[in-house]
Amino acid sequence: MSINGKADIYTRITNRIIADLEQGVRPWFKPWNAEHAAGRITKPLRHNGTPYKGINTIMLWGDAMAKGFTCPIWMTYKQAQEIGGQVRKGETGSLVVFADRITRTETTDAGEEMEREIPFMKGYTVFNCEQIDGLPDQYRATAAPKLDPVSRIDHAERFFAATGADIRHGGNRAYYAIQPDYVQMPEFVTFRDAESYYATLAHEMTHWTRHPSRLNRDFGRKRWGDEGYAAEELVAELGSAFLSAELGITPEVRGDHAAYIASWLTVLNNDKRAIFTAASHAQRAADYLHRLQHAEMEARAA
């Protein structure tokens, strides 16, 4: 895709997210698929059941909310046809992107050949299963009986415990302190419900991954409220949304999150790639926390 085409994708996606935020809507916040067998809340799924990641998760969540879709499954026009479906006439698809690199051989002024990697981004269109007729029943299944909420929260408890993070409780603030390297949480009983607690913990645990000994994430934040601070908070916000979806937790609106919307808008307006960067870092943080689960299981097996 040409540079102009790539820039158009960055701009289109960023402008849509900016429009949502200006209306006070966070497109990554909603239990999208309450009616579907895939679960009460989940990440968007490809036709083969593989979850989308990063910026595509946010984009499809936003479209699901805007168009009222409860099915989490998306596919291309061709994929629908291959399994016997047909996109209904007049339906509008949703944009997703694919990022990769190509290697190009170039000749220097000295006549020497050298290889250069060039990043590129390609956009393509997918449709929600609710826009497609004739699909097999598995794509239209109704909601299965809900899991016992206690067992689901127990699962979240085990997930965060397996990270080995120093999680302390007390006071009335939730935060991550990078120098002493610990997460501070209010007492469990002070939260409105268990899901609010775990969604908040997911936010702080995303911050925890920024430590130099882990993902070493640094946006050059100098003080509270600057653009570096806002960028890190956006990563933590998206990381919490991704983890909540994966753990079956409905993310709750934290009171202090509303105050961040203005600063996020500043970041997004100044840099059309900022939401892509934030989503990439958030996905990396979620993946890192998931890898710690496997490490913990291997340690127990040994």
> Where are the strands (E) in 129-229, listed by range?
132-133, 167-169, 175-177, 182-185
| pLDDT at residue 105 greater than cutoff 80 | no
User: Is the model more confident about 166 or about 261?
Assistant: 166
Best mean pLDDT range from 67-76, 212-221, 293-302: 212-221
Cα gap 29→245, rounded to integer Å: 10
| pLDDT level of residue 80 (50, 70, 90 thresholds) | very high
Q: What are phi and psi of 51, to 5 degrees?
A: -70, 145
The answer to which of 14-23, 88-97, 198-207, 282-291 has the lowest mean pLDDT is 14-23
Q: Once rounded to an integer, what is the mean pLDDT over residues 190-219?
A: 92
User: Is the model more confident about 294 or about 214?
Assistant: 214
> Where are the strands (E) in the chain, listed by range?
74-75, 86-87, 94-107, 113-128, 132-133, 167-169, 175-177, 182-185
| pLDDT at residue 162 greater than cutoff 90 | yes
| pLDDT level of residue 34 (50, 70, 90 thresholds) | very low
Q: Quick one: pLDDT at residue 2?
A: 39
| pLDDT level of residue 107 (50, 70, 90 thresholds) | confident
Q: Quick one: pLDDT at residue 75?
A: 96
Q: Enumerate the domain spans of the chain.
A: 1-144, 147-302
Cα gap 47→135, rounded to integer Å: 11
